[in-house]
C-alpha cells in the first residue's frame, strides 16, 4: 500500500501541463519568439486590413501613376522654428518632360500633406458587420493622397494593396494547410494504423505525387479552371489544387507517428479496453501527436504561401480584382517596373518576411513539441 508520506507528496505536488512545458521550452527559443510576434502582427494586419489600409486599394488615380514612395515625417517644424509632433509627407508634383513626355514626380518643398491617426476616410464594411470610415493613418483632407510605398501603374496606393494582399496570401496558407491536414491525417493515419497493403498503396501514391514536378501540375490544374468562375470560387479552387500536392508531406509525418504509436502499450491497452478503432485513433493516438502535427502545419503554411505567390505571379493563380501578394508581384514582372518603379517589389519583401518567420516559428514549435525528450528527469 502507498505510504502516508507518499500520499501527502502526491497531494502537494504541483504539476505542469503538457502545454505549459511546451511553452516553457518554446520561450527559450529566441528567434522563434520573435517570429511568433511577426506572424501574429501579420495575421492582425490581415484581420484589420480595412482599418489599417489608408485608402481603398482599388481606387485608381490618373494623376499618381507610378508615384514614388514618400517618407512619413513625424515632427513638423514651421518657419518660426517651432516644432510639434504632427505627421506629414512632402507633396510631389507631376511634371512631364516636354520632349519625351516622360512623367516625373518632383518634390514640392514646403508643400505638406498632413496625416492623422484614426482619421476619417473611405467607408468600409469590416467583416461584413460594422460600417465605418475610421482609418489607422490617413490624410487630414480626405481628398488628398499619400503614397508610403508608392503607387502602381494605375496610381493605386501600394500600402493599402499590400495590406489587403496579406489577407488573401496569409489565409490561403491556412485554408490550404487545413485541407492538406485533413487529407494528410486521414490518409497518413490509415496508412500507419493498418499497415500492410493499404500502407504500401498509400505510400506509393505519396511517392508518385511527390515525384511530379509541382509547377506544371499547378499550371495544368489551374488552367483547367473555367474562365467564367467568380474570383472567390477561383480562390477556393486554387487552395484545393495547392493542398492536393501539399498533403503528402503531412501524410508522411502522421504515418510515421502512427507507426511508432501503434506499438505503444497504451494503445494496446485501449484496444483491450474495448475501444473502437475510431476511438483508438482519435481519442488515444491523435492527441499525442498533436504538437508534432501543429509544428509540421506551421512549416507547411509558408510552402502554401510561396505556391500561391508563384502561381499568381505566373498569371495562373488568383486574378485581379482579388489582391494577393502574388497578384501584386505580377505587376513587377517586366523590366520597366524594375527600372521605373522598384517599389512594386515591396510585397515580395512581405512574402520573404512571412515565410521566414513561419519557418522559424515552426522550428521552435518542433523543438518545443517534445518537452520530455530533452533529458528532463
Partner 1 sequence: MDQTATRIANASAIAAGEPVLEVKNLTTEFPMRTHTLKAVDNVSFTLRYGRTLCVVGESGSGKSVTARSILQIVDRPGRITEGEILFHQHLTSKGLEGAGTIDLAQLPPRSPAIRAIRGRDIAMIFQEPMSSLSPVHTIGSQIIEAIRLHDGAAKKEARERAIELLRSVEIPNPEHAIDRYPFEYSGGMRQRAMIAMALSCSPSVLIADEPTTALDVTTQAEILDLMRDLQEKFGMALMFITHDMGVVAEIADEVVVMRHGKLVERGSVEDIFHQPQHDYTKRLLGAVLELDEPSPKRLEMRARKPLGPPIVRLKGLEKKFFMSKGLFTKRQDPIVAVGGVDLTLYEGENLGIVGESGSGKTTLGRCIVRVHEPTGGEIHYRRANGKEVEVLTLGKSGLQDIRREMRMVFQDPFGSLNPRMTVQQIIGEPLVCNGETNARVIRDRVAELLEMVGLPTQTMERYPHAFSGGQRQRIGVARSIALDPRLIIADEATSALDVSLRTQVLDLLLDLQERLELSFIFISHDISVIRYFCDRIAVMYRGRVVETGDTLEVCDNPQHAYTKALLSAVPRPDPRRRKMHQRHRYHEPAA
Label residue 350 exposed, middle or buried (CB < 10 Å: 0-12, 13-18, 19+).
Answer: buried
Toward partner 1, which CB reaches closer, 11 or 232? 11
Determine phi and psi for 119, rounding to 5 degrees.
Answer: -85, 175
Determine phi and psi for 136, rounding to 5 degrees.
Answer: -60, -50
Q: Point out which residues bind partner 1 (CB under 8 A).
A: 1-2, 6-7, 10-11, 13, 15, 17-18, 196, 264-266, 268-276, 279, 284, 287-288, 290, 372, 375, 377
Toward partner 1, which CB reaches closer, 210 or 269? 269
Toward partner 1, which CB reaches closer, 120 or 279? 279
Toward partner 1, which CB reaches closer, 159 or 369? 369
Reading the block at residue 51, the C-alpha cell is: 482599418
Sheet holding 73-77, edge to edge: 73-77, 83-96, 103-126, 130-139
Least distance (Å) between residue 279 CB and partner 1: 7
User: DSSP per residue over 41-69, as a string?
Assistant: HHHHHHHTHHHHSSS-TT---GGGTTPPP
CA distance 126 to 142: 19
Reading the block at residue 69, the C-alpha cell is: 514612395
Determine phi and psi for 195, rounding to 5 degrees.
Answer: 65, -160
Toward partner 1, which CB reaches closer, 190 or 242? 190
Least distance (Å) between residue 36 CB and partner 1: 22
Least distance (Å) between residue 205 CB and partner 1: 16
Least distance (Å) between residue 198 CB and partner 1: 13
Least distance (Å) between residue 11 CB and partner 1: 6
Listed residue (267, 261, 270) closest to 293, CA to CA: 261
CA distance 89 to 72: 5
Toward partner 1, which CB reaches closer, 120 or 271? 271
Least distance (Å) between residue 372 CB and partner 1: 8
**What share of residues in the chain are helix, strand, coil (percent, to 5)?**
60, 15, 25
Least distance (Å) between residue 200 CB and partner 1: 9
Q: Are 142 and 165 in contact (CB under 8 A)?
A: no
Least distance (Å) between residue 327 CB and partner 1: 43
Determine the 3-state secondary structure of 85 from DSSP.
Answer: strand
Toward partner 1, which CB reaches closer, 29 or 67? 29
CA distance 377 to 375: 6
Reading the block at residue 350, the C-alpha cell is: 512581405
Toward partner 1, which CB reaches closer, 135 or 284? 284
Compute CA distances 2 → 10, 11, 12, 15, 71, whole Å. Answer: 11, 13, 15, 20, 73
Amino acid at each position: 500500500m502507498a505510504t502516508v508520506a507518499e500520499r501527502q507528496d502526491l497531494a502537494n505536488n504541483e504539476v505542469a501541463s503538457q502545454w505549459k512545458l511546451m511553452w516553457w521550452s518554446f520561450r527559450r527559443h529566441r528567434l522563434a519568439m520573435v517570429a511568433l510576434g511577426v506572424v501574429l502582427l501579420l495575421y492582425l494586419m490581415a484581420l484589420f486590413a480595412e482599418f489599417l489600409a489608408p485608402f481603398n486599394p482599388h481606387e485608381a488615380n490618373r494623376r499618381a501613376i507610378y508615384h514614388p514612395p514618400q517618407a512619413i515625417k513625424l515632427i513638423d517644424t514651421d518657419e518660426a522654428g517651432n516644432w510639434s509632433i504632427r505627421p506629414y509627407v512632402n507633396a510631389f508634383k507631376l511634371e512631364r518632360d516636354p520632349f519625351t513626355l516622360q512623367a516625373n514626380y518632383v518634390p514640392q518643398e514646403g508643400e505638406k500633406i498632413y496625416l492623422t491617426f484614426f482619421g476619417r476616410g473611405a467607408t468600409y464594411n469590416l467583416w461584413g458587420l460594422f460600417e465605418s470610415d475610421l482609418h489607422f493613418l490617413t490624410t487630414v483632407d480626405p481628398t488628398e493622397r499619400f503614397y508610403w510605398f508608392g503607387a502602381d501603374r494605375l496610381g493605386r496606393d501600394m500600402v493599402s494593396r499590400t495590406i489587403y494582399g496579406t489577407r488573401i496570401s496569409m489565409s490561403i496558407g491556412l485554408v490550404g494547410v487545413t485541407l492538406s491536414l485533413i487529407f494528410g491525417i486521414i490518409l497518413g493515419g490509415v496508412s500507419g494504423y493498418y499497415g500492410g497493403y493499404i500502407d504500401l498503396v498509400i505510400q506509393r501514391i505519396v511517392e508518385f505525387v511527390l515525384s511530379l514536378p509541382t509547377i506544371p501540375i499547378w499550371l495544368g490544374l489551374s488552367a483547367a479552371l473555367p474562365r467564367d468562375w467568380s474570383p472567390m470560387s477561383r480562390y477556393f479552387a486554387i487552395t484545393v489544387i495547392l493542398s492536393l500536392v501539399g498533403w503528402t508531406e503531412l501524410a508522411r509525418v502522421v504515418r510515421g507517428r502512427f507507426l511508432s504509436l501503434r506499438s505503444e502499450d497504451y494503445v494496446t491497452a485501449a484496444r483491450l479496453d474495448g475501444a473502437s478503432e475510431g476511438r483508438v485513433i482519435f481519442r488515444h493516438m491523435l492527441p499525442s501527436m498533436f504538437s508534432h502535427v501543429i509544428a509540421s502545419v506551421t512549416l507547411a503554411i509558408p510552402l502554401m504561401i510561396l505556391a500561391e505567390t508563384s502561381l499568381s505571379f505566373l498569371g495562373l493563380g488568383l486574378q485581379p480584382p482579388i489582391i494577393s501578394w502574388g497578384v501584386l508581384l505580377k505587376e513587377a514582372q517586366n523590366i520597366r517596373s524594375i527600372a521605373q518603379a522598384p517599389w512594386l517589389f515591396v510585397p515580395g519583401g512581405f512574402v520573404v518576411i512571412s515565410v521566414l518567420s513561419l519557418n522559424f516559428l515552426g522550428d521552435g514549435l518542433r523543438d518545443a513539441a517534445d518537452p520530455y525528450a530533452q533529458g528532463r528527469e
